[in-house]
Chain A
Amino acid sequence: MALKKVSSLRSTLVPRAVLAVTSAALLTATFASGCSSSSGGNGSTGENLTGRGPITYVEGKDTTETGAVKQLVERWNAAHPDEKVTFKEQSNDASQQYDDLKQHMQAKASDYDVVALDVPWTAEFAAKGWIQPLKDSFAIDTSTLLSPPVASATYNGTLYAAPRNTNGGLLFYRKDLTPEPPKTWAEMISMCPKAKEAGIGCYAGQLAPYEGLTVNTAEVINAFGGSFVGADGKTPTVNSPQAKAGLTTLVDAYKNGDIPKEGISFKEPESQNAFVTGKLMFMRGWPSSYGDAGSDASSVKDKFGVAPLPGKDGVGASTLGGYNAAISAFSKNKATALDFLRFLISEDAQHIVASGALPSVRASVYDDPALIAKMPYLPALKESIASAVPRPVTPFYPAVSKAIQDNAYAALTGSKSVDDAIAGMQKGIETAGS
């Protein structure tokens, strides 16, 4: 082959090779950043602490009727023209929100400054070093807030996020069948014959095998004095007589038919539908069901009331829902982000939050007569949240939740005894993360 030809061949090949290698390198970089397991303590939490400027606030779709999140952002922007907040709206789906945040954090991207975290994600984001610990110069004043939401934002003794809004379970009951709501599980079960007389189911929650089952199981176990993990977020503590008593209560209620047979296929929509169509005497639900139960289409419109969840001897232990707002460790303007967090928990902002029917993290808001007139469930909800327990605060939350769900489901369906199911949860939490 003549020299000229070789060189011409090379000139054709080289740009292609360069192109190919570059694209391969690019892809590698994208994949590596997207896939590699990340480590904590990467030092980013000490950077940009004094940075000020425009920031981006990331949260799932704002579904409140009042557009609460947009109102919050507008209120802030009017007062801080140089440090404007842009609202980046994610999808409505919690797992898509989680995946989106995770990808941005693994890529150490600085385009998300303040992120809204569903309560159970907080510990994992903290343990991976993705969010700024709120201590020393970054401390925020949480003394005026309800303490369970603050506990949900705390990992390993350090606060990692500002509780933005909270949520608690309520017992919806039929006023026409029982004028007084039951205070305890035993009392509630003793009222079940009345439901039978009326030809309807007695109690239902959300017992299908999904996150709702974790919530419902945790509530009854916590109400009887049980717990799941120790303060370190890893040591399992569920194998206790209290936890067994709690789960037994739920399993017995299902076996005795106090929870209708179809109850183990109920998620939020099914349980709400059963209550709204008058097929249930008691339902465990979130405040968001209140509107539907009270609407004109509901057959229990003026016949229902709400109360805190029943417990062992008194008010039960609701599982805490809600969102926490955290500062990304990779943010460039952390000082502004910190001010924004302080704004989010302020009286003013929390009033906007509460008006949007997102339960506030400030106790005082629940006593506002104007809000109570609009949302009559607020006093019951305040009581519910005051005695609420956060979901197990652990960086392995998905695995722990799965261990709780699968074992509780096995106990409900009778394929495992309560003792075995509790022992299974204990072992499941022990092996979480392997």
Chain B
Amino acid sequence: MGVSARAWVFVTPVLLALAVVIGYPVVRALIMSFQKDSGLDKATGMFVEGGGAGFSNYTHWLLEQCTNSLGETVDCPTGNLGSQFWTAIGVTLLFTVVTVALEATIGLGMAVIMGKTFKGRALLRAAVLIPWAIPTAVTARLWEFMFQYDGVVNRLFGTHILWTADPWPARFAVIAADVWKTTPFMALLILAGLQVIPEDVYEAARVDGASAWQRFWNITMPLLKPALLVAVLFRTMDALRMYDLPAIMTQSNPATRTISMLVVDQVRQGPNSASALSVITFLLIFTVAFFLVKVLGANAVRTQEEQREAH
């Protein structure tokens, strides 16, 4: 048996396994997304199979179109999940952009401090990790208590804000909790990047008379870029599929309903149009990931090559 033939023998089971566990559900979801959910037969009051749906499950979401009891196509009314698609997309993107930006900035600051040598550094590093170690569900409950009407936050600031019920306060509360929870993760990834920057580069810069700001901007930032980009990519993916934090903290408050929450709500009402929504969500996340890797990632690689050339 040739080497390549033997290689195929070893690889085939893995490929088959991958096809089954990854390919199959994806294809299945795609097929389901083109089928109608079962509907009620008026005469008997019993459910009947829906049959082919064409693109109607997709237009249901993208154009927010529903079918009423007469079979006419109308705009989805409030309360129908279809009417919440673009709001949910907006909320998800808002959460993603704001939380990732805040987490990257604060995380960078924390990493720079943790990277310095001082007494009690090990303790600080361990303490910083605590929010990350707490399960998200617990974090959500914790912040829900703090943001209650008679909770710590309102008492501390002497305010009377309905943090989990009013739209913008609720969004703010979710963002605050998410930043609290995941900044340590960012800080740790960035710290790892910081520590591989050789100390002699800084020494050389110091000798050349570079100020602290110049050293940070011209040495730390470019050399940190790959680590920072990986951290941002990870967090962006995570934030785009955010579910548990808003689901537990603000329940089904329409103002904080993310796209993942919409999928879960829809599964209860009709699996086929939920499949269409999952496909759309997948495409959205895939596009964002592709963009980040292609545009920013290529940039990161080039910086490394440039660095190597410079050495």
Q: How far is the CA of A155 from the CA of B40 in the complex (A)?
A: 13
CB interface residues, A 24-44, toward B, < 8 Å:
24, 27-28, 31, 35, 37-41
Q: Pick out which of these stretches binds chain B: A9-17, A49-57, A302-310, A381-389.
A: A9-17
In angstroms, how far is the closest chain B Cβ from the Cβ of A243?
Answer: 15
Q: How far is the CA of A261 from the CA of B166 in the complex (A)?
A: 11
In angstroms, how far is the closest chain A Cβ from the Cβ of B65?
Answer: 9
Q: Which residues of A contact B160 (CB under 8 A)?
A: 261
Contact mask B265-279 → A, CB, 8 Å, 1/0?
100111110000000
Known: A37-B270, A433-B269. 19 other contacts (CB 8 A): A9-B9, A19-B13, A20-B13, A24-B19, A27-B24, A37-B50, A39-B49, A127-B47, A233-B40, A234-B40, A234-B42, A262-B149, A264-B165, A395-B40, A402-B265, A406-B254, A427-B74, A432-B80, A434-B80
Q: Do the beta carbons of A35 and B32 come within 8 Å of each other?
A: yes
Q: Do the beta carbons of A403 and B77 come within 8 Å of each other?
A: yes
In angstroms, how far is the closest chain B Cβ from the Cβ of A120?
Answer: 12
Q: Which residues of B contact A427 (CB under 8 A)?
A: 68, 74, 77, 80
Query: Cβ of A129 < 8 Å from any Cβ of B?
Result: yes
Q: Among the interface residues B1, B42, B77, B149, which one has the most CB atoms of the partner chain A within 10 A?
A: B77
Hey, which bits of chain B sit against chain A, CB under 8 A?
1-2, 5, 9, 12-13, 16-17, 19-20, 24-25, 28, 32, 35, 37-42, 44-50, 60, 66-69, 74, 76-82, 148-150, 160, 162, 164-166, 251-254, 265, 268-272
Q: Do the beta carbons of A261 and B77 come within 8 Å of each other?
A: no
The residue from A13, A38, A434 contacting B9, defined by CB atoms under 8 A apart: A13
Q: In the complex, how many residue pairs between chain A and chain B have their CB atoms under 8 Å apart? A: 172
Q: Do the beta carbons of B78 and A395 come within 8 Å of each other?
A: no
Q: How far is the CA of A69 from the CA of B9 in the complex (A)?
A: 57
Q: Which residues of A contact B67 (CB under 8 A)?
A: 431, 434
Nearest-CB residue, chain B, relative to A16: B13
Q: Do the beta carbons of A433 and B79 come within 8 Å of each other?
A: no
**A430-B69 CB under 8 A given contacts A20-B17, A404-B79:** yes
Query: Cβ of A374 < 8 Å from any Cβ of B?
Result: no
The residue from B25, B44, B66 contacting A41, defined by CB atoms under 8 A apart: B44
Q: Which residues of B contact A27 (CB under 8 A)?
A: 20, 24
Contact mask A127-156 → B, CB, 8 Å, 1/0?
111000000000000000000000000011
CB interface residues, A 43-93, toward B, < 8 Å:
none
Q: How far is the CA of A13 from the CA of B12 in the complex (A)?
A: 9
CB interface residues, A 235-294, toward B, < 8 Å:
235-236, 261-262, 264-265, 267, 270
In angstroms, how far is the closest chain B Cβ from the Cβ of A5?
Answer: 6
Q: Do the beta carbons of B38 and A37 come within 8 Å of each other?
A: yes
Q: How far is the CA of A155 from the CA of B46 in the complex (A)?
A: 10
Q: Among the interface residues A396, A406, A410, A425, which one has the most CB atoms of the partner chain B within 10 A?
A: A406
Q: Which residues of B contact A168 (CB under 8 A)?
A: none
Q: Do the beta carbons of B38 and A405 come within 8 Å of each other?
A: no
Q: Do the beta carbons of A39 and B45 come within 8 Å of each other?
A: no
Q: Do the beta carbons of B77 and A20 come within 8 Å of each other?
A: no
Q: How far is the CA of A28 from the CA of B20 in the complex (A)?
A: 9
Q: Do the beta carbons of B9 and A405 come within 8 Å of each other?
A: no
Q: How far is the CA of A24 from the CA of B23 in the complex (A)?
A: 11
**A403-B80 CB under 8 A given contacts A12-B9, A37-B271, A209-B251:** yes
Q: Interface residues of A: mostly helix, strand, loop or mixed? A: helix
Q: How far is the CA of A119 from the CA of B16 in the complex (A)?
A: 45
Q: Which residues of A contact B35 (CB under 8 A)?
A: 37
Q: Which residues of A contact B37 (CB under 8 A)?
A: 37, 433
**A9-B5 CB under 8 A given contacts A37-B272, A234-B69, A398-B268:** yes
Q: Which residues of B contact A23 (CB under 8 A)?
A: 20
Q: Which 6 A-B pairs have the closest CB atoms?
A: A403-B79, A40-B46, A262-B149, A427-B77, A428-B79, A431-B66
In angstroms, how far is the closest chain A Cβ from the Cβ of B275?
Answer: 8
The residue from B48, B77, B166 contacting A428, defined by CB atoms under 8 A apart: B77
Q: Do the beta carbons of B69 and A208 come within 8 Å of each other?
A: no
Q: Do the beta carbons of A399 and B46 come within 8 Å of each other?
A: no
CB interface residues, A 204-220, toward B, < 8 Å:
208-210
Q: Which residues of B contact A407 (CB under 8 A)?
A: 78-79
Q: Do the beta carbons of A233 and B45 come within 8 Å of each other?
A: yes
Q: Which residues of B contact A182 (CB under 8 A)?
A: none
Q: Do the beta carbons of A31 and B68 come within 8 Å of each other?
A: no
Q: How far is the CA of A234 from the CA of B39 in the complex (A)?
A: 11
**28 sample A-B contacts, Cβ–Cβ < 8 Å, listed by A number:** A9-B5, A16-B12, A20-B13, A23-B20, A31-B24, A31-B28, A37-B37, A37-B50, A37-B272, A38-B38, A98-B268, A155-B45, A209-B251, A209-B254, A210-B251, A234-B42, A262-B162, A262-B165, A265-B162, A399-B79, A402-B80, A405-B252, A406-B78, A424-B77, A427-B74, A428-B80, A433-B37, A434-B66
Q: Which residues of A contact B164 (CB under 8 A)?
A: 265
Q: Which residues of B contact A403 (CB under 8 A)?
A: 77-80
In angstroms, how far is the closest chain B Cβ from the Cβ of A287?
Answer: 24
Nearest-CB residue, chain A, relative to B74: A431
The residue from B12, B42, B149 contacting A265, defined by CB atoms under 8 A apart: B149
Q: How far is the CA of A232 from the CA of B48 in the complex (A)?
A: 16
Query: Cβ of A413 < 8 Å from any Cβ of B?
Result: yes
Q: Which residues of B contact A301 (CB under 8 A)?
A: none
In angstroms, how far is the closest chain A Cβ from the Cβ of B155?
Answer: 13
Q: Do the beta carbons of A28 and B251 come within 8 Å of each other?
A: no
Q: Do the beta carbons of A232 and B253 come within 8 Å of each other?
A: no
Nearest-CB residue, chain A, relative to B5: A9
Q: Which residues of A contact B272 (CB under 8 A)?
A: 37
Q: Which residues of A contact B13 (CB under 8 A)?
A: 16, 19-20
In angstroms, how far is the closest chain A Cβ from the Cβ of B16?
Answer: 4
Q: Do the beta carbons of B251 and A128 come within 8 Å of each other?
A: no
Q: How far is the CA of A241 from the CA of B80 in the complex (A)?
A: 23
Q: Do the beta carbons of A431 and B49 come within 8 Å of each other?
A: no
Q: How far is the CA of A226 from the CA of B225 in the complex (A)?
A: 63
Query: Cβ of A409 < 8 Å from any Cβ of B?
Result: yes
Q: Which residues of B contact A13 (CB under 8 A)?
A: 9, 12
Q: How far is the CA of A434 from the CA of B269 in the complex (A)?
A: 9
The residue from B17, B40, B79, B150 contacting A127, defined by CB atoms under 8 A apart: B40
Query: Cβ of A416 < 8 Å from any Cβ of B?
Result: yes
In angstroms, how far is the closest chain A Cβ from the Cβ of B84?
Answer: 8
Q: Do the beta carbons of A129 and B162 come within 8 Å of each other?
A: no
Q: Do the beta carbons of B17 and A402 come within 8 Å of each other?
A: no
Q: Do the beta carbons of B149 and A209 come within 8 Å of each other?
A: no
Q: Which residues of A contact B16 (CB under 8 A)?
A: 16-17, 20, 24
**A425-B12 CB under 8 A given contacts A9-B1, A28-B24, A430-B68:** no
Q: How far is the CA of A428 from the CA of B75 in the complex (A)?
A: 10
The residue from A264, A402, A433 contacting B40, defined by CB atoms under 8 A apart: A433
The residue from A127, A428, A430, A432 contacting B46, defined by CB atoms under 8 A apart: A127
